[in-house]
Amino acid sequence: MILAYDGTAFHGWQRQVGLRTVQEEFEQVLQRVVRHPVHSIASGRTDAGVHAEGQVVNFKTDCPIESAKLLHAIGSRLPSDISLRQVRDVPLLFHATGHAIRKLYRYRIINTPIRPFPWLLRYVHHIPRFELDVERMGQAAQSFVGTHDFRSMTPIGGPPRRSYVRTVFSCCVSRQNEEILIDVEGSGFLYNQVRNMVGTLTEVGRGHWPPEQVLEILESKDRTRAGPTAPPQGLCLRWVKYPPDDQLPDLEQTFSPVRMEERDNPTLDEP
């Protein structure tokens, strides 16, 4: 299944006691339709306030309803801030988290002294007080491309990881009129990694740092040397890619007996 959601009123994807989350809302509808308990697995745990256009989710069911009819049966019952875009059958071994090979996140900045339209403020970060130098930001963004230890882009005191090494395939900065777009494509991301990358690029765009300093920050593995964490509303998961169905790797031997949806692996992201 492919989901789109407005993350504004959610405390992220993952179910949390006493808080409204996308997973809980979605599973409540799923269970009413398929008439049995459901545990859904997403490509990654988007953080509170982060949006998605192409979140991929899978679940197992013996419900006889065809996928095409499930699309309407589930989609018509979802709250207005969640949209079910696609439903299809996949092999039983498919795992939305573990089999993801590429993801694209987009961060949107409105860089103008005038406040944007009110409805846009849910989806962009407004920076009014200074003009960002997009060319310098684009130069700095190239330092993120490749396989690096991204410890300097993760929160101090955050959950420990077996590895902080991640691969970024591309990081592009462009301007469209008053809007600056930062597109980051990678194999997976650490908690807050993309938002910390954006905050660091913003410091370069303000003229606080030269573009080449970003590589020094990465090599330092020191979070205190990087820029601030950009706010969540500007971030959106645009798409996730997977191998063909007949080329899905077997994850059971690699991660058993640990539940795969709870493991620490390079594709589990919490931006």
- Kindly tell me the sign of the dihedral angle through the C-alpha atoms of 90, 163, 107, 123: positive
124 closest CA partner among 108, 145, 146, 142 = 108
The answer to whether residues 191 and 174 touch, using CB atoms and an 8 Å cutoff, is no
Note if 47 is an active site residue: yes
Q: Count of CB atoms within 10 A of residue 114's CB?
A: 8
Q: Decide: residue 259, CB within 10 A, 0-12 exposed, 13-18 middle, 19+ buried.
A: exposed
Distance CA 210, CA 197 (A): 15
* Choice among 6, 47, 133, 250 that is catalytic: 47
SS3 breakdown of the chain: % helix, strand, coil, rounded to 5?
30, 25, 50
In the chain, the DSSP E strands lie at 2-5, 41-42, 51-58, 82-86, 102-110, 125-126, 146-149, 165-176, 179-186, 235-241
For the chain, the C-alpha Rg in angstroms (whole number) is 19
What is the set of active-site residues? 47
